[in-house]
Each structure stands twice: as structure tokens, then as C-alpha cells.
Amino acid sequence: MEKVEWEDVQRLVLSGYPKLPFSAYLFWHFEPDKVDAAKRWLGSLAKRLTCAVARGDRQAINLALSAPGLKHINVSDNMLNSFSPEFLEGMAPKPTATGPSRRSNILGDLGDSSPEFWEWGGWNGSRDIDGMLLLYASDRSSLMALIDTEIKAMAGAAEPALRQNGERIVLEGRIYEDHKEHFGFKDGISQPMIEGSPRASKKRKKSSGDPDENKELTADEKRIHLVKPGEFILGYRNERRIRISSISGTKDSKGAEARDIRRNGTYLVFRQLEQDVRAFNDFVANTAGRVYGRTDEPAREEIAARLVGRTREGHPLVPVDRGPDASPRNDFLYHFEDRFGTACPIGAHIRRANPRDTIGPDADTALRLSKMHRIIRRGRPYGERLDSGMGNSASRKASRGISFIALNADIAGQFEMIQHSWLNNTHFGGLHAGTDPFGHFSCTGDVVTIQDRPINHYIDRPRPFVRVRGGAYFFLPGIEAVRALARPELV
């Protein structure tokens, strides 16, 4: 088993910071023509970054850089070109003469979700994002203080990139006490585990209800979720036994072999996904009426669960024994347990997002293949809840959604593949129409299929409940790489 240099990896790879429920995503751009100041700032920031072996109990700081950000600090062309094409191209290239860019088509960022309308990262407004600070704190006032300190520290080198009517805005994220996102479901339950990580080698403790808790994995969880480090951290072997390799032949100014700045880093996908909770609730109630002839709570809950593949409390619909501690289980498969989707519909969100043992010539191969397309999710809800007591009309108008974050070593083969070939695929798993219930992409005649006996239910979905409002591809470097980038000489 390859040993990962955890002390050099940023902690976000291992933890979603469940004990630091308040977070901010501070997008910034470098000040023009101040490369020396930028490098000095990065040098001091490197000392404050929270690494994977740190505890980060009171606050945490992580750093991500975009391709324009790396260019700004004079990373050599040789090194820059070793990054993946999708990272270098960015999430929202401008349209071509013949229509939306290839990338927008892959992601389904069309119509309402087109980068034309994004609040940031799209074709208009706040496009020049060189990087992002991910700030985490235990309460809101500590978070505000942390934002303030970090903005002061970057002065003269970089400045916050997002503004609305001249005012600085910072996108926030929040873990609510019940760990539920805005549609009302527990989130962050199913995550891949990196082979050799502290969690993967932990002894079982009693469940604390935290998604990132320290309990030991069961044998089935290991079989399903244990993934090679190279799927998430550059410089190590992945599930194909390939190492996204180090650059050789590059020398630094003293003639020494240059260190690959990708080592111990990973790509970070950020998407601001706005959720229309009222439209979702209406759809659930209408569908309950169509399927069960009633719209009472149990009927609505049944439909809501079928859209996700888990109940609101996170219990999977695939038949599994709930176990003694009643925490949601994640050691289930579909091929033998629920092949035809009569328990967990084939098009349900979790079955599309991770089909486990269902897409391949046989169940074992399918499970092996699925490990090449996993992502670590570190997103959090933003905005007040619909039922937050803001008053009806204010609450209705307020924007809410998920600051979606995915970590992966290969954006094209992991995040984009899931988004394009599974969530947006109208024929996923043999379905004849319809896209992911939580997806932002919609096709003509979009339907949700709920498998049942003797006949399936096909429910028209008039429009998606999610809309993309901004996004960008970043690189979450290893800490030594941040130090290397801070040195005056070319990397």
C-alpha cells in the first residue's frame, strides 16, 4: 500500500470539518503586476494552512488556485501544461461560433444554467478568479473575524473578487445541526475512503452521528468504498494502477530537479447550485397524488425518498438491516439486492451519482469500475432555510442552495463523467427518458421514472429544481507546493 504524505495534504481531502459548521468561500484575484507581493502572501499563508494531520478544532484555512492564478505567479509553461486540459480551460469557456462550448455541453450548463447568466465565473462579471480561501469556524462571529483577518493579510497582493452593487460579497456555507440540505435530506453520508488514510485504518467506536466520524469501516464498506489514493491525490497510484506522474527533466535555477507542484494536490470543483425548494415540494406533492392518490405526509415522504434513494434521515431504500445504532447505512449494493429498481429507483439521485455494482459486465467488475468515478464531496448548503422564520415573502425570495465542492484527481473522468454520463443521461441504466431529480439539466419531455409492479410510474418534470449560479475549477495544492510557488524563482 502506498504511503501518502498526509502532513503535506490539505485537510479538506480527509475531512469536511463537521465540528466547524460555519464556512466561507472567499474568491480573490491577484493585484496586477505585483507578483513579488503575491508570492510573499502565499509564503505566509502556507504557514497557516490546515494540513491533514492537524486537528483544526477551532478554525481551518485551506487554499485553492485557478489556472489563471498559477499563470499570474509565473509558473513555467512546462509545469502549467502538466495540469489537465479541463482545469486549464476552465469550467465555462466562451461559446463558439456554432453555440455553447464543448465543456458547457458536457456539463449541461445550458438554458437557465448557462454561464451567460452566472453571478460569477461565467461570461460576464466576476470572471477573473485567481483563487479561493476556504475558511471554517465553529461559530459565525469567529468566521467573520477570520474573513477579516485573511482579507487584511492579502492586502497589496490580492483582493476579494466578488462584488454586488459595489459591495464585497462572500459566499458562505453552513452545516445545519440536523445535517440536512435545503430539500430536507441528510447529506454527506456516502463518501469514498482513501486507502491508508487514518479513517480507513481506525478501530470501531460508537457512532456519533457525524458523517466524518471516526468509526471503523465494516468489511462491506471497505469492499465498496475503499479507493486507491491516486484517485484523489496526485502523485500516487490510482485504481488503474497509474500514477499521474511527476515531471522529470525540469530543473530549478540552482540546477536541482524541480519538484512537481501537483504532488499531494487535488482538483477542486466548485459549483454554486441554487435550489428551488418550493418547486421541489410542489412536485413531490403532485407526484404523491398521481402515484398513491393521496398527498398526506407519508405519501409525500415516500415519493421524496424515491427521488433521492434514501429517506430524509438518510436510510437507504435498498433493503438492509438498519443495525443497532440506527445511523444510515452505506454498505449496500444494487445488483443482487434491487436489480430492477423497485426499491431504489434506477434514476434516483444516489443510484445515478454512484451506481456501485450495476454498470459493467458483472457485479464485481462494475464495482471495480465504479471506483474510477468517485468524488469526495465537501459542499455545504448556503442561504437561510425556507422554514427559517424569516417570514413568508422574504424567505420565498431569498436565494438558497448548495456550495457544491467535489475533490478528484481527474475532473474529466470523475466529476464530469458523473455529471454528464450519469446525472444528465436520459437513458441512464436503460431508462427511456429523464435526468437526475437533483440535476440542473433538463431534456424535452423530462420524466421521473419510479419502478413499480405491475407497472412503472412516469411523472412529467416540468423543469429542474436546481440552477447553476456560478462555478470554477481549482487546484488544491499540497502545502510544500504552496511554499515552492511562493519562492521568487520560476517553478
Q: Does 188 bind ligand HEM (CB under 6 A)?
A: yes
Locus of grid cell 435526468: 435
In this structure, what are the phi and psi dihedrals at residue 164, rounded to the nearest 5 degrees?
-135, 125
Question: What's 448's DSSP letter?
Answer: E
Q: Does 187 bind ligand HEM (CB under 6 A)?
A: yes
Q: How many residues bind ligand HEM (CB under 6 A)?
A: 25
Question: What's 354's DSSP letter?
Answer: -
Q: Judged by CB, which is closer to ligand HEM: 41, or 465?
A: 465
Residue spans of alpha helices (H) in 293-430: 297-308, 349-353, 363-370, 392-397, 415-417
Q: Judged by CB, which is closer to ligand HEM: 127, or 373?
A: 373
**Count of helix runs (H) and strand runs (E) in the chain:** 14, 16
| b/e code 440-469 from CB counts within 10 Å (16+ = b) | bbbeeebbbbbbeeeebbebebeebbbbbb
Q: Does 275 bind ligand HEM (CB under 6 A)?
A: yes
Residue 109 forms beta bridges with which residues?
none
Q: Does 402 bind ligand HEM (CB under 6 A)?
A: yes
Q: Judged by CB, which is closer to ligand HEM: 56, or 309?
A: 309
Region binding ligand HEM by CB under 6 A among candidate stretches 61-69, 102-110, 299-307, 348-356: 348-356
Q: Does 404 bind ligand HEM (CB under 6 A)?
A: yes
Asked if residue 273 lies in contact with residue 469, where contact means CB atoms within 8 angstroms, the answer is yes
Contacts with ligand HEM in 72-131 (CB under 6 A)? Answer: none
Contacts with ligand HEM in 360-379 (CB under 6 A)? Answer: 375, 377
Q: Does 461 bind ligand HEM (CB under 6 A)?
A: no
Determine which residue in the list 349, 378, 400, 461 makes contact with ligand HEM, applying CB under 6 A.
349
Q: Judged by CB, which is closer to ligand HEM: 270, or 415?
A: 415
Q: Judged by CB, which is closer to ligand HEM: 133, or 402?
A: 402
Dist. CA 171–CA 467, nearest whole Å: 16
Q: Judged by CB, which is closer to ligand HEM: 118, or 404?
A: 404
DSSP 3-state of 20: coil
Q: Does 468 bind ligand HEM (CB under 6 A)?
A: no
Determine which residue in the list 13, 318, 466, 484 makes contact with ligand HEM, applying CB under 6 A.
466
Q: Does 183 bind ligand HEM (CB under 6 A)?
A: yes
Q: Judged by CB, which is closer to ligand HEM: 159, or 301?
A: 301
Q: Does 354 bind ligand HEM (CB under 6 A)?
A: yes
Region binding ligand HEM by CB under 6 A among candidate stretches 56-64, 177-185, 287-295, 336-344: 177-185
Sign of CA dihedral 306, 308, 313, 315: positive
Residues ≥6 apart with Cβ < 8 Å to 79 = 247, 250, 258, 260, 261, 491
Cα–Cα–Cα angle for 390, 394, 398, rounded to 5 degrees = 100
Amino acid, res. 470: G
DSSP-derived secondary structure for 133-190 = EEEEESSHHHHHHHHHHHHHHHTTTEEE--EETTEE--EEEE--TT-B-TTS-B-S--
Q: Judged by CB, which is closer to ligand HEM: 34, or 222?
A: 222
Q: Judged by CB, which is closer to ligand HEM: 127, or 469?
A: 469
How many residues are given for the chain? 491
Q: Does 308 bind ligand HEM (CB under 6 A)?
A: yes
| Closest approach of ligand HEM to the CB of residue 40, in Å | 37
Region binding ligand HEM by CB under 6 A among candidate stretches 42-50, 188-196, 201-209, 449-457: 188-196
If we measure between CA atoms, which residue out of 319, 325, 312 comes closest to residue 342? 319
Each residue 309-328 as x (binds ligand HEM by CB under 6 A) or -, in order, gives -x------------------
Determine which residue in the list 350, 359, 450, 468 makes contact with ligand HEM, applying CB under 6 A.
350
Asked if residue 232 lies in contact with residue 405, where contact means CB atoms within 8 angstroms, the answer is no
| Closest approach of ligand HEM to the CB of residue 102, in Å | 18
Q: Residue numbers of the site for ligand HEM (CB under 6 A)? A: 181, 183, 185, 187-190, 273, 275, 308, 310, 349-350, 353-354, 375, 377, 402, 404, 415, 418-419, 423, 438, 466
